[in-house]
Amino acid sequence: MKSIGSRITLWYAITLTATLACLFIAGHYLLERYLVKQLDELTETQFKHLAATLGRDYASLTPQVIDERIREATESASSMFYVDMHGPMTNRFFKSHNLHGMAIPDLIGEKTYSITVEGLGEVRVGEYSLQPFDVLIATPMAPVLDLMGGYRRVFFGLLGTALVLSVVIGYGLSELILKPVRVIQATALRIRSDNLAERIPVADVQDELSQLARFLNQMFDRLERSFSEIRHFAAEASHELKTPLSLVRLHMERLLVDDGLSAVQKESIVVQLEEIGRVNRIIDELLFLSRADAGAVLVDLKPQRPEQLLGAFAQDAAALAEHDGKRFEWSHHGDGSVDIDAKRIRQVLLNVLTNALKVSPRGSLVSLASTLADGLWRISLVDEGPGLSAEDCERIFDRFVRLGAESSDPRGSGLGLPISRSIVTMHKGRIWATSRDVGRGLRVVIEIPTSAG
């Protein structure tokens, strides 16, 4: 079992059930011994009653008188006791009528024992000496056997009930015990590079889980400081690089208009200018992400009807798709408006569309479906590319991560989707990707509440 909760439930159920089973078994043994002891005391009491009835002068009595006195003592309890009295050399001197002529077996060396007698069933026998006679008094074991059979039935019924209850109680205990662990897990999953300020709530106790939560919070503090230093460095470095890059670009543009350069030299300068332009775009993107992480980027939220925004976007999307030999379709359902920064949302849609067109084969379809309902604007863009694994569906929103066809494109920087996530987050929304429900291809979903404030 991979779940700790399942293992706790199983261990609790097994432990409790095994403990109850041991108690029931011990109780069965002790109760049976107690009842058998009571039968031994009953046979001993019957013998004492028989000896008192015979009197102290029984040795001088005739056999007929002895027989009459024994029957007088035993007949009143004939349903409970069997009496077999024999003298030396095992010759039978007296048998109670309920034996019907049968003899009670005499086990040499045993004074009390249980034995099965044909016609009587299992009996408990006590052997007593009344010189010169040996007296065997037996009593049925049926009441004890019936009682112990009922005990076992109750035992198995209670054991089954205890097993079910222990599973239920064990599950409840596991949920209670693991609740702090689940809180730690949920909080840790929410703490990402774009959400490093959140911390695990710590109870005012000194147990192991609280110590673990404090340790993790200290680790997140160190991570936040490290990320902050890295972002600060990226922002400072990006800002400082813009000026020298601008100067380099300016000097190359001046060289480009120099008539003394050959065609090969001019071509080389054009290539360098293109690369400088690409570096400038990456710097601008890094600066945007740094400002977004610091909360310095503001969005101009205004009511916007989604069908109007998507209608204008679809014209450019269809042209881009046609240029790559692919098709683009879109649809929208629902009426109303959304508070968004239309320019930023258009940037998100273009980033997602560009990635979809890069991985889609020629002649394939890229479709966009928009729905506005229940206070939520949901945009779903699906391509017919190779799709991604569940792990890669999350990784594509990390910075500088380039997968599939995009990784071989020198124009890409791996910052488009991280920027898109930052913009969507500014609108209090979320963006994610999945390949589970589209078969071949990738679905990118954007959800924005109708009122981002």
pLDDT (tens digit, 9 = 90+) per residue, 220-239?
888 888 777 776 776 677 66
- pLDDT, tens digit (0-9, with 9 covering 90-100), for 416-446: 898 899 999 989 999 999 988 777 789 999 9
* pLDDT value at 132 more than 80: no
Q: What rounded mean pLDDT belongs to the chain? A: 84
Q: With beta carbons less than 8 A apart as the criterion, state whether 290 and 238 touch.
A: yes
* pLDDT value at 319 more than 70: yes
User: Would you call 396 exposed, middle or buried from its count of C-beta atoms within 10 A (0-12, 13-18, 19+)?
Assistant: buried
Find the range with the poorest average confidence among 61-65, 121-125, 179-183.
61-65
Please tell me the distance from the alpha carbon of residue 344 to that of residue 340, in angstroms, as a whole number.
Answer: 8
Single-letter residue type at 125: V
359: nearest Cα among 324, 309, 313: 324
Q: What is the mean pLDDT of residues 280-302?
A: 78
Task: Give the H/E segment covering residue 302.
Answer: strand 302-304
* pLDDT value at 373 more than 60: yes
Q: Write down the pLDDT at residue 88.
A: 64
Between strands 302-304 and 92-95, the pairing is unpaired
Q: Write down the pLDDT at residue 412.
A: 59
- Long-range contact set of residues 158-165: C-beta below 8 Å, sequence gap at least 24: 158/20, 158/24, 159/17, 159/20, 159/21, 159/24, 162/16, 162/17, 162/20, 163/13, 163/17
Q: What is the dihedral of CA 306, 344, 357, 449, to 10 degrees?
A: -50
pLDDT category of residue 317 using cuts at 50, 70 and 90: very high
DSSP 361-397: PTT-EEEEEEEEETTEEEEEEE--S----HHHHHHTT
pLDDT category of residue 55 using cuts at 50, 70 and 90: confident
Q: What is the mean pLDDT of residues 74-87?
A: 77
Q: Domains in the chain, start-ordered, CATH in brackets?
A: 4-147 (3.30.450), 208-293 (1.10.287.130), 302-449 (3.30.565.10)
Give the residue, 446 or 132, on which the prediction is more confident: 446
Q: Write down the pLDDT at residue 340.
A: 93
Please tell me the distance from the alpha carbon of residue 290 to that of residue 235, in angstroms, as a whole number.
Answer: 6
3-state secondary structure of 286: helix
Find the range with the poorest average confidence among 270-284, 321-335, 369-383.
270-284
Residue 449: both structure tokens together? 């509440």
Q: Write down the pLDDT at residue 269.
A: 84
329: nearest Cα among 360, 369, 361, 356: 369
Percent over 70 (pLDDT), the chain: 90
Residue 333 per-residue DSSP state: E
Give the residue, 391 or 70, on which the prediction is more confident: 391
* pLDDT value at 18 more than 70: yes
1-10 residues labelled b (16+ CB within 10 A) or e (exposed):
eeeebeebbb
Q: Write down the pLDDT at residue 387.
A: 87
- Beta strands (DSSP E) in 76-132 are 82-86, 92-95, 112-117, 121-130
Q: With beta carbons less than 8 A apart as the criterion, state whether 414 and 401 touch.
A: yes
pLDDT category of residue 154 using cuts at 50, 70 and 90: very high
Q: Write down the pLDDT at residue 8.
A: 85
* pLDDT value at 143 more than 60: yes
Crossing angle of helices 142-190 and 4-54, in 10° steps, is: 160
Radius of gyration of the chain (CA): 47
Predicted TM-score of the model (pTM)? 0.51
